[in-house]
Structure 1
Amino acid sequence: MAGAIARSVANPVRRLRLRVRGAVQGVGFRPFAYRLARRMRLSGFVLNDGAGVLIEIEGPDADRFPDMIRNEAPPLARIDSIDVLELDPAGGEGFDIRESLVGRSATRIGADAATCSECRREQTDPSSRFFGYAFVNCTHCGPRFTITRALPYDRAQTSMASFPMCAACAADYADPENRRFHAEPVACPDCGPRLSHPIAGVAAKIAEGGIVALKGIGGFHLLCDARNDAAIDLLRTRKARDRKPFAVMVRDIDAARALARLTEAEEALLASSASPIVLVEPRAHELSGLIAPGLARTGIMLAYSPLHHLLFDALAESSHCFPALVATSANPGGQPLVADNAEAERRLAAIADLIVTHDRDIAVRADDSVMQVIDGVPAFIRRARGFVPEPVDIGTDGPSVIAVGADLKNTICVTRGREAFLSQHVGDLDNAEAIRFQREAVSHLCSILDVKPEFAACDLHPDFRSVRIAESLNLAVVPVQHHVAHIAAVTAEHQLSGLVLGLALDGHGFGADGTSWGGEMLALDGHRWHRAGSLAPLPLPGGDRAAREPWRMGVAALQAAGCIALAPQLWPGDSGVAQLTAMFERGTQVPVTSSLGRLFDAAAAITGVRRVQSYEGQAAMEFEALARNPRVLQSGFAISGGRLGFHPLILHLALQDQDAPAAADLFHGTLIEGLAEWAAEGARNLGTRRIALGGGCMMNRVLAAGLARSLRERGLDPYLPRLAPANDGGIALGQAAFARQVIVNEYASVEESRTCA
């Protein structure tokens, strides 16, 4: 008796109220809390509401509960915070899961997740009611974002609302001990969605060399055999996609290992619940050379939906055992991803030999995410399925801003408190469908976040379609210079305050002086910035045509280097080169640009790698693919008055008779050395060690990793984009973050009006 009294005094009964915020709805959090509380013999309840998950627990071990929740949370849960309030003990027995409370939302839904091992096991188990079912899922996997129309995340708010649960699924859904407790997409062959065609027929069509349009999680894929040159060539012809790389889908991680040389970090990315496309080094002769022509790396992803797994099962059972499928987004003509059944029949009939649909609507379309490992850490090329709508914590609170991004690789961003929510990849805003999709993304993101933005942020470019969209929102508009946004995106995700030196390196952005920028040294400090330097300007003959025709930039670079006479020797008999050379010799004035992207184009043209490109960045990507061991040309660059020029390097490349790989090594090595020296000088002048690296050129692995390493060797602290793409897909994050700084510091009436309200 005395021992029991001593224990009760040492460990008294306490009642705690826990407010759990983050991605904690639709991930099995309530049954997890239920099982944990029962295991610990605690009484109380758990429920979902607009702010996240609310828990009250009572018992002698209540104080241990918050740490155990954080340490043992379900695999798809993302806990941002746990606020604990002590209450007076209320007594009572047992622990309950209560109904959701509807209110203003301050939580978020989870991203779509790849099929878990348990669901995959059930799908292949003849004794399971989910055997061979294309839509099996549980609280640990399956669609989330792409089927959700509004919060709270309950079945009635998703595209599963039209599928009443059968008795067996309803029992699973109601059982806290079941893996499918409140798994909103739960369904089985008796009550759930159905495919329009049998899997065996889909496999047969691919086996005979056909092209299949298959409805997936976030939209349709176009599929064909990744070893069949004729099928891939036909797909390129029908989709009007000349050389732009395709992605490849494989059955599992073992298949990926067989097709590519994977690092540990790449394997972890491929096998993650997000299941992105990952750029990796393919093994020779395993895949068709038509998949990623001229490139050193191929985008590979694992089968991530139950439907994908069934397709690979069917292919394996046939006489043709395919190790891989081309799996490219079904977006003909550069338009947004096709996601609707009727739309697929209308827009894909001329591309696919077979269109396979199902009757579960895609509420929100989302492309596959694309990633690569740079400097040992994952980095985005495209951020979409599997990651959206996970927020970026930007470190400080502030007014709600909606940023509309750039016209290329568009995304939008909405801030709520200290969180910034990037939308899925929208694409280029060069057609009516893309603009309509962007408006859908704006409406949906604001809806699921329950946010009414107070300000809009956009680019400075006077002719951007995104700027017109920002102006149509009936909000105060804060314009943000393109390259400032690139650097602000990096400082926001790394939560850097105070003075930071930024190198913004890309193809084009409208400069504050009205000229074309793209190789900028920027000093960024809160809401203030200035241009501390730039790359030496190059002529831009033909304006936008120069970006499509690298030979123009080759001639322009020779002109800037003072050796225009070499142009006819490099391209003998070319009438266009002759005309442009004559124009320069007459002293004709053309626009100029400080773009590093155009310098890449010039070098690729001069070295014979690429004269004309069929997709954005092709010349630079093919030039990067040739680089193996970068080396430095001594005196290959010059720094003067804050400007960095590579005229000696250009002249050397034009004069030396060397093969393209050697030229690529020399160009990349000298570029890295020059940029590092330039940044070091700028950092000394400003009195900072922090260097933010942004812009589309930072997707070049050789350049980004080499520059980061070279800056560290000089005692500087480089920061690379990690949580948003370095290219224009991350612009919206930088626009939103920088605009908030401007609003808080320059709109004096904002905080006063918010306080009065």
Structure 2
Amino acid sequence: MKRLRLTLTGLLQGIGFRPYVYRLATTHKLTGWVANDRDRVLIEIEGNEQQLIDFLVALPNNVPACGQLSDCQQYVIPVTYQQGFQFKPSLNVNSETAIFVCPDIVVCDACVAELFDPNNRRYQHPFISCCHCGPRYSVMHGLPYDRCQTSLRDFPLCEQCAAEYQNPHNRRFYAQTIACPDCGPQLTLCDNSGTPITHGQAAINDTVNALTAGKIIAIKAIGGFQLLLDANNSMAVARLRTLKQRAGKPFAVMVKSLAQAEQLCELSQIKRQCLRSAAAPIVLAQAKPHSKALLDNVAPKQALLGIMLPSSPIHHLIMAQLNSPLIATSGNRHGEPICIDNQQAFEHLNGLADFFLVHDRDILRPLDDSIIRVIADTPTVLRRARGYVPTPIMLKQTIPPTLAVGAQLKNTVAIAHGHHVIVSQHLGDLEQRETAQQHATTIDDLSQFYALKPERIISDTHPDYVSSLYAQNSGLPVQTVQHHYAHILACMAEHQLEPPVLGVAWDGTGLGTDKQLWGGEFLQINPHGWQRVAHCRPFPLVGGFAAIKEPRRAALGLLYAWQGEVIFTDEYAPLLSAFSAVELKLLRGMLKNQLNCPMTTSIGRLFDAFSSLLDLCQISEFEGQAAMALEACAMSHSFPRAAKKCSNGVPRRAYPTELIEADGLSLDWQPLLTGVLADLNQVSHEQIAANIHHSLANWVFAVAEKTNATRLVLSGGCFQNAYLVEAIVNAEQSRQYELFRHATIPPNDGGLALGQIYACVLN
């Protein structure tokens, strides 16, 4: 006889791991016990040598879905001759900081089957869950993961649920979030003043009737409130756009099944897997031609549709009665965080929603729907929240307790300790007071949840960001990290890369070390620091940040940097037709006198300029609209998909690439601009847009060759553009480079907090 104590670490709580251990131990006729520690699982097993070996071999092979066994430490301890195998109460004796916490998991197929089975006692129960699915992080007060540590502690189990909870052979054995119609939360439909109307399945039925009638419904979902409405009802959609101040920005749609998704979109196997994954994210997919009316309604002037499957039982119950897809968008007002509390929703969404479908299970932290885009066959997270957070990022190096506060837009924060970094859910842009408050609240929540007291704080070098001001007022030692350096380090951290690499950081804007607006940067990262070795040739942003919302101003600045005052002659008038004579007179004076015309090296703004010159977008209604329009234009051209290349891998149609010696290497956009202008009235705009993307891809390798780089790291918001990334990946295939890009962490500013942490690691 022999007895072992096993200490297991990884993502093991909230996935049915203890019941799995119980069944495995009893199968191998072992005695002992299993218990949760703060974020570990402890096991003691006793039996003969062969039984123990068989158990240890089998243990890592069938870990429940969503789980991750990272490490298993074994210790031989005295034999106790214990009888049977037991569950012990959670010990909570681990003095180390907890790291592994299970994200929220989409309702599983077994629970969906029970949900629609009239003979099942949980028939139409809107809170059905089991060991393998249901809310996790969104309802957790703390660790270890036990019912008393969740918002389900307010709902004592009835006799039948308790029997299932205690039955080792039941799917709900030690499932912490289970409930039933007798003992679980209750669903209520309220009018727009918060007055209850109906309850239970009647509330679902009335919700469906209201949606069919064109009403907007605020529902309390897994990570917060959502606004639902009929995606085919153009009047309802127009009304929501007005109420949310969201003129042209795309909405995501929810469909009832994968089959309905395939009716609307082109879905590869990878995209199907993403839709059906445990995270149930929004997946961006090419709309089919017959979906044009729907696309024009929910994502005007776009090629892609954001599509998602039901993520909760409530969604399933609603969608089962509908044939039309629903818009499912965040339950918030413009610029504010999503609502998670019933009363908060009644107050903040009054006037937006006609009805409220609420319940009495508390959501403890807001979690937006995550967004995935498959880029060059790699699922890439663009917004990381429900279903992915708070899965830790693993580092090779160790780091003392450290807090990173991110930047201004698409903000996330991160807290790190030891070998792990916890990156928060997407928080949004910090320009509104309410979102800035949520930023501070999330920092407090992370610190308390993980029992971590940061010793230092990391922020962007921009002194006026809300996040930077938070750092300055924190009372902790502050370290700042340059914006684009943090972008590259975020991708390096994701891949556990160490220097040297050549980082390609392309985005909309970020403050450079010279106090200029950067955004088209090549950074050489070495073990001793980093150096800016190349950048896009600067051009003026006419009116400063006003140019970010008006791509026509970026085009004007680009033309002026090329030809100066000549562009205001009749010869160039067609290129400036987006402006009135009064506007041109004012802007010409600003350019001539260099008034509020900061220089930028931004590739994002370069995309804006070309989008304007092709008359795709002159004034943006939402961030990134111009670049998205340029990409959509390129995507509609068949040339890149045909992969026509010369022997050296360069596409046959790309404008010239030129590097000039100016403050290091400068990527001269002039040959690109003159090529575009020469083609403007000769070649289709789709061909020109495709050529622009391939020309930019060639820039990457021109700098790589010039600097003798072998490992390239791509990061920044521009690399959300699948057409651009695919052009780079295709061009790289005939070259000898290692190319690294984002997958689990967003390439946009949502990844900056991780990069800020990694700067401390490397330094």
**Fold shared, TM-score > 0.5 on shorter chain:** yes
Q: Which residue of 2 aligns with 1:648?
A: 671
Q: Which residue of 1 aligns with 2:538?
A: 537
Match among 709, 721, 724 for residue 703 of structure 1: 724
Q: Which residue of 1 aligns with 2:525?
A: 524
Q: Check if 1:212 corresponds to 2:214.
A: no
Contact 1:26 1:182 in 2 (8 A): no
Q: TM-score, normalised by structure 1?
A: 0.93
Q: Check if 1:607 corresponds to 2:608.
A: no
Contact 1:143 1:185 in 2 (8 A): yes
Aligned residues: 720
Cα deviation 1:506-563 (Å, max 9, x = unaligned): 0000101111110111011246111111111111211101101111110111122226
Cα deviation 1:340-385 (Å, max 9, x = unaligned): 1011111112111111111111111100000111111110110000
Query: 1:288: Cα distance to partner?
Result: 4.5
Q: Which residue of 1 aligns with 2:370?
A: 369
Distance in 1, matches of 2:572 and 2:455, equals 54
Equivalent residues in 2 for 1:99-138, closer than 5 Å: 99-103=89-93, 104=95, 105-138=97-130
Q: Which residue of 2 aligns with 1:10?
A: none
Contact 1:570 1:654 in 2 (8 A): no
Q: Which residue of 1 aligns with 2:145?
A: 153
> Structure 1 stretch 345-354 or stretch 478-487: which is displaced more?
345-354
Cα deviation 1:146-180 (Å, max 9, x = unaligned): 00111111112211111111111111122222211
Q: Check if 1:199 corresponds to 2:199.
A: no
Query: 1:692: Cα distance to partner?
Result: 0.6
Equivalent residues in 2 for 1:576-591, closer than 5 Å: 576-581=583-588, 583-584=590-591, 590-591=597-598
Match among 68, 71, 93 for residue 78 of structure 1: 68
Contact 1:558 1:651 in 2 (8 A): no
Distance in 2, matches of 1:633 and 1:284, equals 27
Q: Which residue of 2 aligns with 1:407?
A: 408
Equivalent residues in 2 for 1:25-64, closer than 5 Å: 25-60=13-48, 61-64=51-54
Distance in 1, matches of 2:596 and 2:165, equals 71
What residue ranges of structure 2 are gaps of 5+ in the alignment? Answer: 190-202, 641-650
Query: 1:216: Cα distance to partner?
Result: 0.3
Contact 1:15 1:88 in 2 (8 A): yes
Distance in 1, matches of 2:652 and 2:694, equals 5
Q: Which residue of 1 aligns with 2:644?
A: none
Q: Which residue of 2 aligns with 1:181?
A: 173
Distance in 2, matches of 1:91 and 1:586, equals 89
Distance in 1, matches of 2:255 and 2:609, equals 37
Q: Check if 1:244 corresponds to 2:246.
A: no
> Structure 1 stretch 51-60 or stretch 103-112: which is displaced more?
103-112
Distance in 1, matches of 2:295 and 2:265, equals 13
Distance in 1, matches of 2:38 and 2:437, equals 29
Q: What letter matches 1:599 in structure 2?
A: L
Q: Which residue of 2 aligns with 1:304?
A: 311
Q: Which residue of 2 aligns with 1:752?
A: none
Distance in 1, matches of 2:593 and 2:759, equals 44
Residue 527 and residue 204 in structure 1: after superposition, are their counterparts in 2 closer, same or farther (change >3 A)? Answer: farther
Query: 1:665: Cα distance to partner?
Result: 1.3
Query: 1:257: Cα distance to partner?
Result: 1.2
Q: Which residue of 1 aligns with 2:758?
A: 737
Q: What letter matches 1:271 in structure 2?
A: R
Distance in 1, matches of 2:170 and 2:495, equals 39
Equivalent residues in 2 for 1:625-636, closer than 5 Å: 625-627=632-634, 628=637, 629-630=639-640, 636=656
> Structure 1 stretch 576-585 or stretch 285-294: which is displaced more?
576-585
Cα deviation 1:711-754 (Å, max 9, x = unaligned): 34221111001121000000000001112322xxxxxxxxxxxx
Q: Which residue of 2 aligns with 1:140?
A: 132
Q: Which residue of 2 aligns with 1:618?
A: 625
Match among 251, 267, 271 for residue 266 of structure 1: 271
Secondary structure of the corresponding residue to residue 248 of structure 1:
strand
Query: 1:635: Cα distance to partner?
Result: 5.4
Contact 1:555 1:567 in 2 (8 A): no
Distance in 2, matches of 1:718 and 1:495, equals 14
Give the fraction of aligned pairs with identical amino acids, expressed as a percent.
39
Cα deviation 1:323-342 (Å, max 9, x = unaligned): x1110111212110111101
What residue ranges of structure 1 are gaps of 5+ in the alignment? Answer: 1-12, 316-320, 743-757
Query: 1:314: Cα distance to partner?
Result: 2.7
Q: Which residue of 1 aligns with 2:290?
A: 285
Contact 1:218 1:367 in 2 (8 A): yes
Contact 1:228 1:288 in 2 (8 A): no
Query: 1:693: Cα distance to partner?
Result: 0.4
Distance in 2, matches of 1:365 and 1:209, equals 27
Secondary structure of the corresponding residue to residue 712 of structure 2:
strand
Distance in 1, matches of 2:240 and 2:610, equals 31
Residue 88 and residue 358 in structure 1: after superposition, are their counterparts in 2 closer, same or farther (change >3 A)? Answer: same
Q: Which residue of 1 aligns with 2:580?
A: 574
Secondary structure of the corresponding residue to residue 320 of structure 2:
helix
Distance in 1, matches of 2:328 and 2:338, equals 13
Query: 1:586: Cα distance to partner?
Result: 6.3
> Structure 1 stretch 396-405 or stretch 137-146: which is displaced more?
396-405
Q: What letter matches 2:279 in structure 1?
A: A
Q: What letter matches 2:580 in structure 1?
A: D
Distance in 1, matches of 2:673 and 2:134, equals 52
Contact 2:398 2:761 in 1 (8 A): no
Secondary structure of the corresponding residue to residue 42 of structure 2:
strand
Q: Check if 1:457 corresponds to 2:458.
A: yes
Cα deviation 1:301-329 (Å, max 9, x = unaligned): 101100000001233xxxxx32x111011
Secondary structure of the corresponding residue to residue 134 of structure 1:
coil
Residue 266 and residue 418 in structure 1: after superposition, are their counterparts in 2 closer, same or farther (change >3 A)? Answer: same
Q: What letter matches 1:186 in structure 2?
A: I
Secondary structure of the corresponding residue to residue 524 of structure 1:
strand
Residue 452 and residue 671 in structure 1: after superposition, are their counterparts in 2 closer, same or farther (change >3 A)? Answer: same
Equivalent residues in 2 for 1:301-380, closer than 5 Å: 301-315=308-322, 321-322=323-324, 324-380=325-381
Secondary structure of the corresponding residue to residue 196 of structure 1:
strand
Query: 1:294: Cα distance to partner?
Result: 1.2
Q: Check if 1:676 corresponds to 2:676.
A: no
Contact 2:405 2:413 in 1 (8 A): yes
Residue 601 and residue 49 in structure 1: after superposition, are their counterparts in 2 closer, same or farther (change >3 A)? Answer: same
Distance in 2, matches of 1:190 and 1:587, equals 71
Q: Which residue of 1 aligns with 2:2?
A: 14
Q: Check if 1:515 corresponds to 2:516.
A: yes
Q: Which residue of 1 aligns with 2:192?
A: none
Contact 2:655 2:692 in 1 (8 A): no
Q: Which residue of 1 aligns with 2:648?
A: none
Q: Which residue of 1 aligns with 2:232?
A: 227
Distance in 1, matches of 2:177 and 2:80, equals 36
Query: 1:14: Cα distance to partner?
Result: 3.0
C-alpha RMSD of matched pairs (Å): 1.7
Secondary structure of the corresponding residue to residue 318 of structure 2:
helix
Query: 1:652: Cα distance to partner?
Result: 2.6
Contact 1:383 1:424 in 2 (8 A): yes
Q: Which residue of 2 aligns with 1:553?
A: 554
> Structure 1 stretch 161-170 or stretch 673-682: which is displaced more?
673-682
Query: 1:63: Cα distance to partner?
Result: 2.1
Query: 1:472: Cα distance to partner?
Result: 2.7
